[in-house]
């Protein structure tokens, strides 16, 4: 089979509207050439479709696995942050009780310079209630919108299924046609000339052998 780029003859600076190739096939008969070329065309289309679908499936699998791993990492980070917040609230509760601050300081007009690390402005009652809420969280995604969005994305990717579909990745401008003429006689001429030259060299070799060995001549 021979494939010829139709744009090869164009100049490099000459833009081409599309890329096209001309395919040809040599066979003993014109009908066989047409049949083989038609078969190759169909096989090529099916192969491209199969490869394209497999490529999409592989990309989907990689994307799903990546998002699952990232979601797991984000959940661990959020859980660690929640545990740290709970521990910080425990310290704040101890400090508020030690300072005798039971109610939020803004409710009774008290002025307290709050500690940014262990805030006591809520008072012991407020801190204790907040601590109860933090400890009651069973799913770290409940209070994290970004984490919930990522979890939704993973669920949708997991549900996605790439079924076998038929589509046309490329089109042939023409259907395979019967050859309009046979191949030129070039190959046959080469074979005949080779045989003639070989025979001529054989005659010369025999003549030289008989000349150099006269005893082999006929009496």
Extract the tokens encoding 63.
């994307």
Looking at residue 77, its pLDDT comes to 92
Looking at residue 120, its pLDDT comes to 81
Looking at residue 61, its pLDDT comes to 92
Kindly report the pTM of this predicted structure: 0.56
Extract the tokens encoding 120.
């006591």
Residue recorded with tokens 């400090």: 95
Rounded to the nearest 10 degrees, the angle between the axes of helix 30-99 and helix 123-136 is 150
What separation, in Å, do the N-terminal and C-terminal C-alpha atoms of the chain show?
60
Looking at residue 68, its pLDDT comes to 95
Extract the tokens encoding 65.
């696995």
Contact 37, 178 (CB under 8 A): no
Taking residue 101's Cβ as centre, other Cβ atoms within 10 Å add up to: 21
Cα separation, 173 vs 150, in Å, equals 46
Looking at residue 218, its pLDDT comes to 46
pLDDT by residue, tens only, the chain of 219 residues: 666 776 776 666 666 666 777 767 666 776 776 677 677 667 777 777 888 888 888 999 999 999 999 999 999 999 999 999 999 999 988 988 888 888 887 766 566 666 777 888 888 888 899 999 999 888 888 888 899 999 999 999 999 888 777 767 666 655 555 555 555 555 555 555 565 665 555 555 665 655 655 554 444
Dmax (CA) for the chain in angstroms is 149
């Amino acid at each position: 089979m021979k494939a010829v780029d139709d744009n090869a003859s164009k100049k490099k600076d000459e833009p081409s509207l599309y890329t096209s190739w001309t395919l040809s096939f040599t066979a003993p008969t014109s009908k066989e050439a047409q049949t083989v070329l038609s078969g190759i065309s169909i096989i090529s289309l099916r192969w491209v479709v199969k490869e394209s679908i497999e490529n999409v499936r592989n990309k989907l699998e990689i994307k799903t696995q990546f998002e699952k791993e990232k979601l797991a990492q984000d959940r661990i980070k959020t859980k660690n942050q929640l545990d740290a917040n709970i521990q910080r609230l425990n310290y704040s509760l101890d400090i508020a009780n030690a300072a005798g601050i039971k109610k939020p300081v803004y409710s009774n007009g008290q002025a307290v310079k709050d500690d940014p690390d262990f805030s006591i402005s809520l008072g012991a009652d407020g801190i204790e209630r907040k601590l109860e809420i933090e400890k009651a969280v069973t799913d770290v995604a409940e209070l994290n919108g970004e984490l919930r969005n990522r979890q939704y994305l993973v669920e949708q990717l997991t549900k996605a299924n790439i079924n076998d579909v038929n589509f046309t990745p490329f089109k042939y401008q023409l259907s395979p046609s019967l050859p309009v003429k046979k191949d030129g006689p070039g190959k046959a001429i080469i074979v005949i000339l080779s045989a003639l030259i070989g025979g001529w060299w054989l005659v010369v070799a025999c003549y030289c052998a008989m000349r150099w060995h006269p005893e082999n001549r006929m009496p």
